[in-house]
Amino acid sequence: MPGLIQETPFKHITIKELAPTFVAEVGGVDFSRPVEPEVFQEIREALAKYGVCVFRNTGLDDTRHVEFSRLLGELDDIKPYLTNGRKAKFPYYELFDAGNLDDEGNVIPVDSPRTHYNKGNGLWHVDSSFNPRRASYSLLLAHTIPPPNNGGSTFFADTRTAFDDLPQDLKTQLEENDYVAAHSLFHSRKLGSPEYFKDLNPLDNKMSRHKLVQTHGPSGRKNLYIARHAHHIEGLSPQESDQMLDRLIEFATQPKYVCSVEWDQDGDLVIWDNTCVMHRATGGSFEGKFKRDMRRTTVHDGSSTAWGLNTVGDRKLGFADPALAKAAETKA
């Protein structure tokens, strides 16, 4: 199969390939008990090969979701985002809210501040590239999904095969210049809802720096580490930087590199590797109408390039930063 690494003889899991070069639906995993080491090893191998793995009807609850996620590495948490005495919505700090419900379980209105803030998630991105230490895996679990045909699927883009297929002159330019991109959560929020965040200036805040071309450790393949969090490429003029980022993201999100993953039922779990794929959320008629309770754990990257060109141990951005707190929480 073009683009995939060498075949791996899976003995404990089943694989249904969902796209020509990446994404697989994985079966044969019993999540009702701790996943056996030999099964977990094959899950890791499948993630290295496909970048995105889909598990149907897992039956996972919050506790088992977090416990399974910890097998993949150290988990990120929401503590920096709890401001003004606000308490965690879920029983574990490691659970990020990726749904459309408020703290009382009501569907968030389509014109709410949080809806504007979340519009940035509809842009192509990787999780946590705006942090000094980037993320490796994200594990998104469906607790409640809208009725069928109301939207809410998640799109993924294969940045390894996209890099392989770049025009040679562009590939040479990227490799020879070894570009560094500066990433900002402020930037993607403003791109997602420019009028709502018109007074937000990403340049007023610290950005995280990661190389544009990376080698994906688990597969050994080169890939584009790009996202709409990327505000600019260092060493290029603003115009050149914008043109390069637009060109690369548009190239990597051509239909032949993209796969849509549908959420079929409560308990579906999707794991993806942020260091080799981009993703974006999609809306639909469910917005403002039907409940969509989605909870995500995020694994810190443990590779040698996890911290990019940032200071190891530097704190990540949180709502405690006044500008983001004002933009995300207090705007009406």
- pLDDT at site 332: 30
The residues, ordered by sequence, that sit 6+ positions from 89 with a Cβ below 8 Å of its Cβ are 95, 97, 103
Q: What one-letter code names the amino acid at 141?
A: L
Q: Which residue has the tokens 């045909």?
A: 149
- pLDDT at site 326: 53
DSSP secondary structure code for residue 246 in this structure: H
The burial of 195, by beta-carbon neighbours within 10 Å (0-12 exposed, 13-18 middle, 19 or more buried), is given as exposed
Q: Per-residue pLDDT tens, the chain, 332 aa: give them.
A: 444 544 667 999 999 999 999 999 999 999 999 999 999 999 999 999 999 999 999 999 999 999 999 999 999 999 888 876 678 899 999 999 999 999 899 999 999 999 999 999 999 999 999 999 999 999 999 999 999 999 999 999 999 999 999 999 999 999 999 999 999 999 999 999 999 999 999 999 999 999 999 999 999 999 999 999 999 999 999 999 999 999 999 999 999 999 999 999 999 999 999 999 999 999 999 999 999 999 999 999 999 999 999 999 998 766 545 555 555 553 33
The distance from CA 211 to its chain's CA centroid, rounded to whole angstroms, is 17
- pLDDT at site 86: 76
Domains of the chain listed by start with CATH number? 14-330 (3.60.130.10)
pTM of the complete model: 0.94
- pLDDT at site 321: 52
The residues, ordered by sequence, that sit 6+ positions from 171 with a Cβ below 8 Å of its Cβ are 163
